[in-house]
Amino acid sequence: MKFLCVVAGILVACACAFTQTGSQTHAPSPKILAHDQHDGMAISADPYVEESRAKDTFGKANPLPLGILPLEVFIRNDTPQPIRVNLETVQLEFHLDSGREQIDWLTPEQVANFVAHPKGVAGPTTRRLPVPLPGHDSKTEKLVAILRPLALDADLIPPKSTVHGFLYFNLSRHMAIVPKGQLYVPDAVKVPTKEPLMFFEVHLDSAETP
């Protein structure tokens, strides 16, 4: 009888813990993520290069088969002040034999358009120009509804908190170069003093398996 009571207590505790934390959109990564940390803020990046993992997260909106890399970004603010990050200037950089490549992220609308109309996917782009959407057709809109909630769209990180979400980069199927990349975050300031933080560089090859 005591054993049954103990088991019941454990099950109740687990149920309460799940209610408090909420469900996750995907399983936590088993590796120590690539990161850069200074000035009381830490930025980590987790590239989704495994087909099964990307499919589990994005379903029909999975951009990986089209050569678009979903990169989950975590921004943690350990300071007592809010920090604002200018997401517009965030890039994925590569130092290749052919030279330095700087790639801007795609909006969920752009990614949805590419997935819905795969023939429209071009090579890596260095400017985030508007991509014409064919009349905001219903197929594209359904994919946007999947991608937008997963995207990183919070540029203000409250004190002692973490925000996270995906940025999407068109690598034109050259996924082998991902370990040579680094997430470059040049513009972050403390609020309200507007004191700038030094830029962040997250080298994607620095992830570790515990």
Give the pLDDT confidence score for residue 135 in this predicted structure.
47
Give the pLDDT confidence score for residue 30 in this predicted structure.
56
Give the number of other Cβ atoms within 10 Å of residue 163's Cβ.
17
Please check whether residue 206 is in contact with residue 33, taking contact to mean a CB–CB distance below 8 angstroms: no
Instruction: Give the C-alpha separation, 194 to 186, whole Å.
Output: 14
List, for the chain, all residue ranges whose pLDDT scores fall below the cut of 70: 1-30, 120-136, 208-210
Q: What angle do CA 146, 19, 30 make, to 5 degrees?
A: 65
Please check whether residue 44 is in contact with residue 33, taking contact to mean a CB–CB distance below 8 angstroms: yes
Give the pLDDT confidence score for residue 97 in this predicted structure.
80
> Which sequence spans correspond to the domains of the chain?
32-206
Structure tokens of 78?
């350990």
Give the pLDDT confidence score for residue 2 in this predicted structure.
39
Give the pLDDT confidence score for residue 20 in this predicted structure.
34
Q: Which residue has the tokens 């999975």?
A: 62
Instruction: Specify the DSSP element, H or E, that contains 38.
Output: strand 34-38
Handedness of CA 111, 89, 101, 56 (dihedral sign): negative
In b/e form, how buried is each residue of 77-95, taking b as 16+ CB within 10 angstroms? beeebebbbebeebbbebe
Give the pLDDT confidence score for residue 120 in this predicted structure.
56
Give the pLDDT confidence score for residue 98 in this predicted structure.
79
In CATH, what class is 32-206?
Answer: mainly beta
CA distances (Å), 139 to each of 58, 114, 116, 181, in order?
A: 15, 11, 6, 32
Structure tokens of 3?
């054993």
Q: Which of 70, 79, 14, 16 is nearest to 47 (CA)?
A: 70
Please check whether residue 143 is in contact with residue 116, taking contact to mean a CB–CB distance below 8 angstroms: yes
